Amino acid sequence: MAARSGGSAVARLKDVAEAAGVSVKTVSNVVNGSVQVAEETRARVQLAIDELGYQPNMTARRLRTGRSGVIALAFPELPSPYFAELAVEVIAAARRHGCTVLMDDTGGDPGAELRIASGLGDPMIDGVILSPLGLDQAELVDRERPIPLVLLGEADLGPVADRVHIDNVSAARDATRHLVDQGYRRIGAIGWQDPSPRATAQQRLQGYAEALQSAGLQLDPALHPPVRSYFRPDGAAAMRRLLKLPERPDAVFCFNDLLALGAMRAVHEAGLRTPEDIALVGFDDVEEAEYAIPSLTTIAPDKTKIAELAVSLLLQRIVHGDAAPSQFLTPGYRLVVRESSRRR
């Protein structure tokens, strides 16, 4: 068998096939992502690829198939743990399909997003997975290069590209209903944006409002102060505003975990306790949520399935590019109940 790094030869497709107990054609299908392969077989082939250190010959692949196996991935806020964790899942999913991922951070800038959506002007990029913030439908339609594209997230830009997302309204409704079920009655929300709310803010506020209405609770505008962005300082600033109200909330639903963690800090600085004085629920289930003190109740999107669906859709679009774009709801999310929202 061919040696790994440090040996006199590199692993070949044939070596991978022998190690995995499959045909060379099956290994090729896994590497190229050209056809569906049973998940068990794909996992066995990927294990052999990893153990042997097999590296596809990109030049040969492009000459043979017209594709390089390189895809681009771009998020608006890579410092956000949610996007960082999702990026890891996308890279892993792409690797299972024999693809390499190039990453970029757009900062939510429409120009940067359009450049990514057009393939960065690089003919070696086969397709793009993009989470847009500032891009609009007209810009996508008129992009310079109509490269295969899958969009992630809440922004609905119409039938321009495949889109993968979760039901944010339902998830926010479930998060707020959990607080209602725990016995909280003056429930605030942190994450609304004014005057230009993102789709995330609109959908999660809608779910929050629907849960309050269903419980017969009043939607008080003073209980959802606007934020500039979705980072810890924004959550802390919004919580300080809530704490200054004549009647402060007894619970708060935050539109992401970073807002919730910032809010938790502000509660602590005010000499109050979570959840005894103010319960908190977040959204995203980033790793930090589990290790916060107290640990944070949160909505957990299935990042692994989001990534796998996005990569699979993109590869299908690369191979069969003529089908009409579709909207895909992922298999869902779950509410992870931890210490920050439990009645004690």
41: tokens are: 């077989």
Half-sphere exposure of 341 (CA within 13 A, CB side): 29
- Tens of pLDDT, residue by residue over 223-248, are 999 999 999 999 999 999 999 999 99
* Whole-angstrom distance, CA of residue 296 vs CA of residue 294: 6
pLDDT for residue 5 is more than 60: no
Q: Could you tell me which residues come within 8 angstroms of residue 63 by beta carbon, excluding any fewer than 6 positions away?
A: none
The residue with greater pLDDT, 31 or 184, is 184
Split at pLDDT 50, 70, 90, the class of 340 is: very high
* Whole-angstrom distance, CA of residue 299 vs CA of residue 175: 7
For CA atoms 55, 59, 62, 63, give the dihedral sign: negative
Residue type, 248: R
Helix (H, G, I), strand (E, B) or coil at 125: strand
The residue with greater pLDDT, 323 or 123, is 123
Pair 34, 26: CB distance under 8 Å: no
For CA atoms 297, 303, 306, 310, give the dihedral sign: positive
Of the ranges 14-28, 95-109, 207-221, which one carries the lowest mean pLDDT score?
14-28
Helix (H, G, I), strand (E, B) or coil at 233: helix
| pLDDT of 105 | 94
Range among 151-155, 242-246, 321-325 with highest mean pLDDT value? 242-246
* Whole-angstrom distance, CA of residue 93 vs CA of residue 202: 30
pLDDT for residue 322 is more than 50: yes
Counting beta carbons within 10 angstroms of the beta carbon of residue 216, is it exposed (0 to 12), middle (13 to 18) or buried (19 or more)?
Answer: exposed
Q: 92 — phi, psi (to 5°)? A: -65, -40
| pLDDT of 107 | 93
Of the ranges 63-77, 117-131, 281-295, which one carries the lowest mean pLDDT score?
63-77
Split at pLDDT 50, 70, 90, the class of 267 is: very high
Split at pLDDT 50, 70, 90, the class of 33 is: low
**CA neighbor of 71 nearest in space, from 293, 313, 252:** 313
| pLDDT of 56 | 65
Query: For residue 209, what is the DSSP state?
Result: H
Q: Could you tell me which residues come within 8 angstroms of residue 252 by beta carbon, excluding any fewer than 6 positions away?
A: 187, 188, 189, 190, 239, 242, 260, 263, 278, 279, 280, 281
**Other beta carbons less than 10 A from residue 23's beta carbon:** 11
The bridge status of strand 327-329 relative to strand 333-336 is: unpaired
Global model pTM greater than 0.85: no
Query: For residue 269, what is the DSSP state?
Result: H
Question: Across the strands, what pairs with 25?
Answer: none
Average pLDDT over residues 111-132: 91
Helix segments in 69-198, DSSP class H: 81-96, 110-117, 137-141, 168-181
Split at pLDDT 50, 70, 90, the class of 52 is: confident
